[in-house]
Amino acid sequence: MASNATAYVAREPDEQGYIHYPDEDNETWQILMSRQMQLLPGRACQEYFDGLDQLQLPVDRVPQLEELNRVLARTTGWRVERVPALISFDRFFKLLSEKCFPVATFIRTREELDYLREPDIFHEVFGHCPLLTNPDFAAFTHIYGKLAYKANKEDRVFLARLYWMTVEFGLVKTAEGLRIYGGGILSSPKETVYSLESDKPLREPFDPVAAMRTPYRIDILQSIYFVIDQMSALQQLSDMDIMAMVSKAKTLGLFEPRYPPKDEP
C-alpha cells in the first residue's frame, strides 16, 4: 500500500516476464514460509488453508506471479500485478476495483525478518493471496476497492480502518474456536500467536462502524481485533451500504486509542 519512503526496490522481470530472485531472496522466502507453516495449523481459518492447497506455493523459492494468476483466475477471477515497492492510494484502490491485487516484487532483508513497514511479496502473497481464492473474501475486497477509489480523502481514512480491521487483522469465529483470516497476522509469527493467545488485546464482535472508528498503529501489535461470525459475513458486508456507515462513523467520531503515543513505551 502507499507510504512515504522505502529503501526497497522491486525486482524487474526479464523479457519473458520471469523475475530472477537471488539465492538470498529465495532463502528468506523459505525461512518465512517454513516458520509460518509451523505456527498456522490450529490458528488460521480453514478457508486460508483451502487457498494454500489451491495455490501450491513453493517452499524453496519466491513464486512467480503468473503461477498465482493461473489459480486466481480459475477460482475468483482475480489476478496479481507487479508494482514498485510503494504505490499511491489511488493506484492501490484502482487495482482492487479491477480485481487485481498489487504485489511488490521484493522480499525483506534478514535484518527486518520479523517486521517491516512496507508490504513485501511474502506479506502480499502468503498473507493475502490464499484467501483471494475464497469468493466471500474476494467479493468484499473487490467492492471495497471500488468504493475507496471513488471516495474522497476524508472518507478513505475511515475506509482504511475498515480494511485494517478485516483484510489485514481480522479474526473469524469457528466451531473449533477463533481463527485468523487477516493477512497482516498470517504473515507475522509474533502476531499469529499474540492475536489468539495473549490476554492483552480486546477481541470484539465485528461491527463495521465501530471498526471505522477505531484508531490503530502499524508499528505495534494490535490492541483490538474484530471477530466476524463466518467468512460469509464479508460477502454480506459487501452487499450493504458501506458509505452510509462511513458517514455514521464520521458523525460519531473516533474512539480513544487503546495504545500509547509513538513517543511513549
Separation between Cα atoms, residue 261 and residue 265, nearest integer Å: 8
What pLDDT does 66 receive? 97
Residue 116 has pLDDT above 90, yes or no: no
Tens-place pLDDT, residues 207-233: 999 999 999 999 999 999 999 999 999
Nearest alpha-carbon partner for 45 in 173, 221, 195: 173
Q: How far is CA 258 from CA 159, 208, 221, 255, in A?
A: 20, 18, 11, 9
Q: Which amino acid is at 251?
A: T
What pLDDT does 39 receive? 98
Nearest alpha-carbon partner for 184 in 198, 170, 194: 170
Tens-place pLDDT, residues 57-114: 999 999 999 999 999 999 999 999 999 888 999 999 999 999 999 999 999 999 998 8
What pLDDT does 100 receive? 98
Other beta carbons less than 10 A from residue 58's beta carbon: 14
* pLDDT greater at residue 117 or residue 138: 138
7 Cβ contact list (under 8 Å, min separation 6): none
| Band (3; pLDDT cuts 50, 70, 90) | very low
What pLDDT does 264 receive? 55
Domains of the chain: 23-252 (1.10.800.10)
Hey, what's the cell of 227? 471477530
| Band (4; pLDDT cuts 50, 70, 90) | low
Query: pTM for the complete prediction?
Result: 0.95
